[in-house]
Amino acid sequence: GAVVSQHPSWVICKSGTSVKIECRSLDFQATTMFWYRQFPKQSLMLMATSNEGSKATYEQGVEKDKFLINHASLTLSTLTVTSAHPEDSSFYICSARVLSGGAIMGETQYFGPGTRLLVL
Amino acid sequence: GQNIDQPTEMTATEGAIVQINCTYQTSGFNGLFWYQQHAGEAPTFLSYNVLDGLEEKGRFSSFLSRSKGYSYLLLKELQMKDSASYLCAVMDSNYQLIWGAGTKLIIKP
């Protein structure tokens, strides 16, 4: 099946530093990747939709200058949390939408394992 | 390796009961989640089980057997709005989520 990986799995950083999280589709091409954040036992909150070769679309309330998204290829999207603060500590999850034969396969999303960010 | 198995698609009738199964093999276990995802929307949290047994929450119940690596989501009194994908995810020993591919549930009148 389709596999999505994220790197790193865990990040602990000091307040004010920037953190980059990578999301890769390992065995398929994904024209669209999604970035979510999740607080414990809560629903995934969509932060932005990332399309290959174009600017990401951010959800209302998500600061685009703080959460920089780059979707440089069909298999890689990156989320950079700039000048991270303790309130940015969360579980960040990406997902990729499968493109097959020129058609989106039933809108199926494959989720990454998540990146746990702790800002001290 | 780690894997989560759940049926790809299920069909049920409005007003009926449906059970969506999930079996897992993971490196460690720190809980199992069920999410509901409507097309084009973010997954919404339904349940979290970390101990064996049945957790009931309104029309939805979730069951876990850690010894069997097995969980199910039970939906009662099905409504048309329950048509969605249901995702099973296990948190492993590194607190990472291992996701199932999701079960597409189709509700017919």
State pLDDT tens for residues A5-52: 999 999 999 999 999 999 999 988 887 899 999 877 777 888 999 988
Residue A103: pLDDT band (50, 70, 90) is very low
Q: Is A28 on the interface with B (CB under 8 A)?
A: no
Angstrom distance (rounded) from CA B6 to CA A106? 17
Cβ atoms within 10 Å of A46's Cβ, excluding its own = 18
Cβ contact A9–B94 (<8 Å) = yes
> For residue A63, is pLDDT > 60?
yes
Q: Is A9 on the interface with B (CB under 8 A)?
A: yes
- Tally of helices (H runs) and strands (E runs) in chain A: 0, 11
> For residue A1, is pLDDT > 50?
yes
Nearest to A71 by CA among A89, A47, A96: A96
pLDDT of residue A99: 58
Q: Locate the chain B residue with the closest alpha carbon to A44.
A: B43
Amino acid at A7: H
Cβ atoms within 10 Å of B66's Cβ, excluding its own = 14
Cβ contact A111–B96 (<8 Å) = no
Residue B44: pLDDT band (50, 70, 90) is confident
> Which of A41, A93, A116 is the closest to B48 by Cβ?
A41
What contacts A92, CB < 8 A, 6 or more positions away? Answer: A6, A21, A35, A36, A37, A38, A79, A114, A115, A116, A117
Cβ contact A41–B95 (<8 Å) = no
Cβ contact B35–A113 (<8 Å) = no
Q: Phi and psi dihedrals of B39, rounded to 5?
A: -55, 130
> For residue A107, is pLDDT > 60?
no
Tokens coding B80 = 């048309």
Q: Locate the chain A residue with the closest alpha carbon to B95.
A: A116
Angstrom distance (rounded) from CA B52 to CA B56? 13
Angstrom distance (rounded) from CA B27 to CA B1? 8
Cβ contact A116–B95 (<8 Å) = yes
How far does B43 lie from chain A, in Å, by closest CA?
Answer: 6
Cβ atoms within 10 Å of A3's Cβ, excluding its own = 14
State pLDDT tens for residues B9-43: 999 999 999 999 999 999 899 899 999 998 878 78
